[in-house]
Structure 1
Amino acid sequence: MIDIKKFDEIKKTSAKSFNEQKALIKKVMAGRVIQCNTCGTTIKLVLPEQSESPGLYCSKGCTDITLDFEL
């Protein structure tokens, strides 16, 4: 049987992570310079014209958020 308290904790953690990623995406797409929390390098926005896998990436690969773009 599933433990409701553990499920609620997972749900809260997932929602927090989602909201943090959403805020990060907004900041980078607005032109702000944001550093990777893990390695400290600048997170770059890669557009569909630049690569087949657009998204947000740091140079070391710690931050790796693939985005879907509609053209």
Structure 2
Amino acid sequence: MPLKDLISIGKRMTDRKTQRNAYPNGLICLKGGDLASETANFRKITEIMEIKTWFKEEFFKDKKVIYVQL
């Protein structure tokens, strides 16, 4: 599912007024492939972390954990 669609769904399901975490309420998802165009519109509020840092299996080679503040 495209990131913009995930964000749209996340905004409807998230209480953005109540903060109980170190990070502001947002969307955390696992995505793969080239994410440059998909995250371009969200660059200021996006963090991208390589999941291969934690998982060494081949499946995770191109996967990333993405956080977008809602």
TM-score, normalised by the number of residues in structure 1: 0.30
TM-score by length of 2: 0.30
Bigger relative contact order, structure 1 or 2 (CA pairs below 8 A, ≥6 apart): 2
